[in-house]
A and B are shown apart, each in its own frame.
Chain A
Amino acid sequence: MADAPPQPILQFDRVTVRFDGADVLTDLSFAAFEGESRVILGASGSGKTVLLKTALGLIRPDSGKVYAFGKDITIMSERELFDIRSRMGMLFQESALFDSLTIEENVAYPLENIKSIQCPKDQVLPRVKEALEFVELGATLEKFPSELSGGMRRRAAIARAVVTGPPLVLYDSPTAGLDPITAHTIITLVIKERDISQTTAMIVTHRYQDGNLVANFRYNSKQGTLEPARNGERQGARTTFMVLKEGRLVFEGDQDRLELSKDAYVRKFVKPRV
């Protein structure tokens, strides 16, 4: 019994998604396990966002199955999906903060609206503050998203995604469109969240250095910075790379195999390690 293989936390089984007659994801299969980090690389338009939205049940596949936490979410009603989604955090590409709500109200939104969370009213504000402290945005509670910079919006959106403490967090291009310094801050937050809350993370990016940081660094909570993690010390916390090309999974494996790949498309995403 003890040898029973661990159950994947998220699994795609021959998933195909079609829009207007064209395949956007084609026959996609993979399984992500608890504690794992997955870095998803791919050209723009290759279906990375669609993949994450399908994992959340926001898009229903035309064929194939998606299992989240062991349950088939492709046959669930929208109401049943709310329960599954409450265990996943999602950072949307352009943050997707509600622009009619303040930052505080945005971060409080999942606590107040997800039924299965059942956060007591007097716990909402402390948890919102804690989440905003976590992303170092403690002083912006009353501001509206439009009053913040792109990097700050991204951080507020991370706070909103993780305020409920979901075991699986999906990040859609967390560093896209940011300057290198802000991008580093954001990826540090992603790794901080992963290491402090021990979450499984799926990270879409087109920056190889993001993937490299996710794979080889860990968060040092004493110094508040990233430090290299020798492989042995991140046992059970492996990082898998996935490369998407026009909706197909053209590579899946660890960083060493990725860097050895001969595929011209895959090679375009790989840069020498920093």
Chain B
Amino acid sequence: MVASEFGVPPNLLDLLKEPVLAVQDFLVLTGRALKNIFLSPHYTDDIFLQMDGIGVGSLQIVALTGTFSGAVMALQMARALASYGQVGKTGTLVSLTLVRELGPVLTALMVAGRNASGIASELGSMKVTEQIDAMRALGTDPVQKLVTPRVIATAVMLPLLVIIADFVGLAGGWLIADFFLSIPSKQYWSSAWRALDWSDVAQGLLKPLVFALVISLIGCYYGLRTTGGTQGVGRSTTQAVVMATVLIFIFDLMITKIWVS
């Protein structure tokens, strides 16, 4: 009825209804999760447990991807710079690309793969086995108990992981520079260091903070809306990873655009 009043075919409105409701639900969850940071009870044990799982658990994979992307960047940049006779500037470019882009994005993608899925499947299993209902029945707010600790833990750990990824990435680039490009170590490190100003560092740390919110909240959102048994858990898990990945790229573009202008 409403649809025809505005001259929009009703089936088009129906098509839009679901995504709009989903975004609304997601924003409500986000609001509640963030508000709970300032409300008691605080489940401190859960925060540390999650920090361990998300941060320490991702350390290896993040270090590995960091090293390799730094090394690859050094090779690629050196080749591009060679045509200008500027191979000595490799450190500069490796450092800029790592700190501004690759460090935050690759780390976030790795953590999204590990933890958006992990969170979605854990909360999803709890949902389909009525553990979420049981929590509410036994006097606990699932957002306070499950979502907020995961948001806090990811927001603390992801920037730290990015710092580590940046450093090991630079070290990976240095290995290449040292062994294959015969750039003196001192020159590599000093050009890498001089390339960065505070704005790069700020951008490099703001991004993981935003990505952390995306990863944890998307994981929790898809987990908590799981229906349809174990099959549904699988579906939620996949959707969470896909959505988190897409959103990471979108937010990366937005933050970069705002930063550049």
Residues of A within 8 A of B200 (CB): none
Interface pair A109/B138, CB less than 8 Å apart: yes
Q: Which of B83-91, B128-136, B185-193 contacts A (4 or more CB under 8 A)?
A: B128-136
Q: Is A250 an interface residue (CB 8 A)?
A: no
Q: Does A263 contact B (CB under 8 A)?
A: no
Residues B125-150 near A (CB distance < 8 A): 126, 129-131, 133-141
Q: Is A115 a contact of B139 with CB atoms below 8 Å?
A: yes
Q: Range of interface residues on chain A?
A: 20 to 34
A85 in contact with B134 (CB, 8 Å): no
Q: Is there an interface contact between B131 and A85, defined as CB atoms closer than 8 Å?
A: no
With A and B bound together, what is the CA distance between A94 and B126 in angstroms? 11
Write out the residue numbers on chain B whose beta carbons fall within 8 Å of the beta carbon of A92: 130, 133-134
Distance from B137 Cβ to chain A, minimum over Cβ atoms (Å): 5
Asked if A110 CB lies within 8 Å of chain B CBs, one says: yes
Bound state CA distance, A115 and B139, in angstroms?
7
Any B CB within 8 A of the CB of A7: no
A85 and B139 form a contact (CB under 8 A): yes
For this complex, into which size category does the number of interface residues on chain B fall?
10 to 19
Residues of B within 8 A of A99 (CB): 129, 131
| Closest-CB distance, A107 to chain B (whole angstroms) | 11
CB distance from A49 to the nearest CB of B (A): 9
Residues of B within 8 A of A117 (CB): 139
- Whether A78 is near chain B, meaning CB under 8 Å from some CB there, is yes
Which of B133, B134, B138, B141 interacts with A114 by CB under 8 Å? B138
Nearest B residue (CB) for A172 = B130
Tell me the nearest residue of chain A to B41, going by C-beta.
A113
CB <8 Å contact, A94 and B138: no
Contact of A56 among B126, B135, B137, B141 (CB under 8 A): B137
| A90 contacts the other chain (CB 8 A) | yes
Residue of A with least CB distance to B46:
A100
Q: Mark A65-99, 1 if CB is under 8 A from B, else 0.
A: 00000000000001000100110101011101111
B139 close to A86 (CB less than 8 A): yes
Contact with B along A95-130 (1 / 0, CB 8 A): 011110000000001100111010000000000000
Hey, what's the 0/1 contact readout for A141-162 against B, CB within 8 Å counting as 1? 0000000000000000000100
Which residues from chain A contact B133 at a C-beta distance below 8 Å?
53, 58, 92, 96
Residue contact B131 to A113, C-beta cutoff 8 Å: no
Quick check: B136 and A94 within 8 Å, CB to CB? no
Q: In the complex, what residues of A have CB within 8 A of residue B135's CB?
A: 98
* Beta-carbon nearest neighbor of B131 in chain A: A96
Q: Are B140 and A96 in contact (CB under 8 A)?
A: no
Q: Which residues of A contact B131 (CB under 8 A)?
A: 96-99
Q: Give every chain B residue within 8 A of A109 (Cβ-Cβ).
A: 138
- Interchain residue pairs with CB less than 8 A apart (22): A53-B133, A56-B137, A58-B137, A82-B139, A85-B137, A85-B138, A85-B139, A86-B139, A92-B133, A92-B134, A93-B130, A96-B129, A96-B130, A96-B131, A98-B134, A98-B135, A99-B129, A110-B138, A113-B140, A115-B139, A117-B139, A160-B138
B binding-site residues for A, Cβ under 8 Å = 126, 129-131, 133-141
* 4 residue pairs, one from A and one from B, having the closest CB atoms: A114-B139, A96-B130, A96-B134, A92-B130
10 additional A-B pairs beyond A93-B130, A94-B130, A115-B139, beta carbons within 8 Å, are: A53-B133, A58-B137, A88-B137, A90-B137, A92-B130, A96-B134, A97-B134, A99-B129, A110-B139, A114-B139
